[in-house]
Amino acid sequence: MRKVLYLIAVTTFIASCNSSKLAPVAKNALKPTIVTQPTPHDTDDPAIWINKTNPSQSLIIGTDKEAATGGLYAYDLQGKMVHKVYPMDRPNNVDIAYNLPLNGKKVDIAVVTERKKNQIRIFSLPDLKPIDNGGIAVFADSEQKDPMGIALYTNPSNGKIYAIVGRKEGASGAYLYQYELTDNKGTVAANLVRKFGNYSGKKEIEAIMVDNELGYIYYADETQGIRKYYADPAKGDKELAFFGQKDFKRDHEGIALFKTSDKEGYILISDQQANNFVVYKREGANDNVHDHKMIAKIPFSTIECDGADAVNFNFGSMFPNGIFVAMSNGMVFHYYDWRIIQKEIDQQQK
């Protein structure tokens, strides 16, 4: 019954959007399998935490980005709120990493940007307990702060975990800051290891995604395209690709990675004002791992989506081949069964 009520609510919201100035939802848009309970204010970005010992107890972590009274929320796979951190001062984006060494143990973490306090917050999972001594300042040496986007990189060769943080404004060549997360007597510390990232100067950089296995960072230079860099600071700051420049109506937003093997899969990017997700091959094309060409453009029921995440994992009968989660206007997150997305990709590639 709860799922039915959520779907009724989102259908009503979509209808109201189609009659307003928000981007209309296409009649053939993919429908969500689950719509979460609404947050109090304004959702922005989700991240998926896998409970590997009990997949049915996995969580979707999402932000409600209101200033002063925003929060970080955890949902179960049925879309019900089960934990929250509240209040926070405009929490923007969130990402997850596994096995951070802390006080002699390995801890799964959620890291979120708290924009109005110019800091990141770090919480253990699944309990969302703070382990950051109240917050860690970012962009401390710059007048341009306002942290927005975040992605976590785990180096597979040594297990080191890094936070890559974006902001509302910044200098081209040093727009993103990368911090190594370390244990400081049982709480997490962050050490700045590099500044990098080109910027067009046109709008902002918020959506960031990391491919741990292949070692790449992708981020959306809104209205311009997607930029690609090495995730390992030791490999340098050369821009590897700048793609998707003509595939979007306007804003390039949330970026999700769905892995189909160790080296293959899909990159899905929100075409915000068209309510589409544009799909690229993770492995590139034409024998060039940095040649990313659009292979599909899929209409979704999400309204002007800011953030998304995807995981290839068997979560049970509802999501046996993985899950795709996307923010939607209406203070909610949508869960999509990956099977319906894969079917659409396959059809568009025929």
pLDDT, mean of residues 311-334? 97
- Please write down the long-range contacts of 232-238, taking CB distance under 8 Å and 24 or more positions apart: 232/153, 232/155, 233/162, 233/178, 233/193, 233/194, 237/173, 237/194, 237/196, 237/197
Using the predicted structure, report yes or no on whether residue 10 has a pLDDT greater than 80. Answer: no
- The total number of residues written for the chain in this structure: 350
Using the predicted structure, report yes or no on whether residue 1 has a pLDDT greater than 90. Answer: no
Residue-level pLDDT at 18: 46
Strand order in the sheet with 187-196: 147-154, 161-167, 176-184, 187-196
The first and second tokens of residue 161, run together, are 């975990």
pLDDT, mean of residues 184-208? 97
The first and second tokens of residue 153, run together, are 């990189």
Residue-level pLDDT at 262: 94
Q: How far is CA 232 from the centre of its chain?
A: 19
CA dihedral 125, 126, 132, 133 (to 10 degrees): -150
Angstrom distance (rounded) from CA 343 to CA 46 = 23
The mean predicted confidence, pLDDT, of the chain is 94
pLDDT band at 151; cut points 50, 70, 90: very high
Q: 191 forms bridges with which residues in the sheet?
A: 180
Q: Is 160 exposed, middle or buried (0-12, 13-18, 19+ CB in 10 A)?
A: middle
Residue-level pLDDT at 16: 46
The pTM (predicted TM-score) of the whole model is 0.94
Using the predicted structure, report yes or no on whether residue 13 has a pLDDT greater than 80. Answer: no
Using the predicted structure, report yes or no on whether residue 14 has a pLDDT greater than 60. Answer: no
Using the predicted structure, report yes or no on whether residue 23 has a pLDDT greater than 50. Answer: yes
pLDDT, mean of residues 37-41? 97
Residue-level pLDDT at 6: 46
Residue-level pLDDT at 2: 46
The pLDDT tens digits for 238-270 are 999 999 999 999 999 999 999 999 999 999 999
Residue-level pLDDT at 12: 46
Residue-level pLDDT at 8: 47
Name the residue among 39, 29, 49, 94 with its Cα closest to residue 329.
39
The pLDDT tens digits for 103-134 are 999 999 999 999 999 999 999 999 999 999 99
Residue-level pLDDT at 21: 80
Phi, psi angle pair for 103, to nearest 5°:
55, 40
Q: What is 2-349's CATH superfamily?
A: TolB, C-terminal domain (2.120.10.30)
Domain ranges of the chain: 2-349
Beta carbons within 8 Å of 201's beta carbon, 6+ residues apart:
172
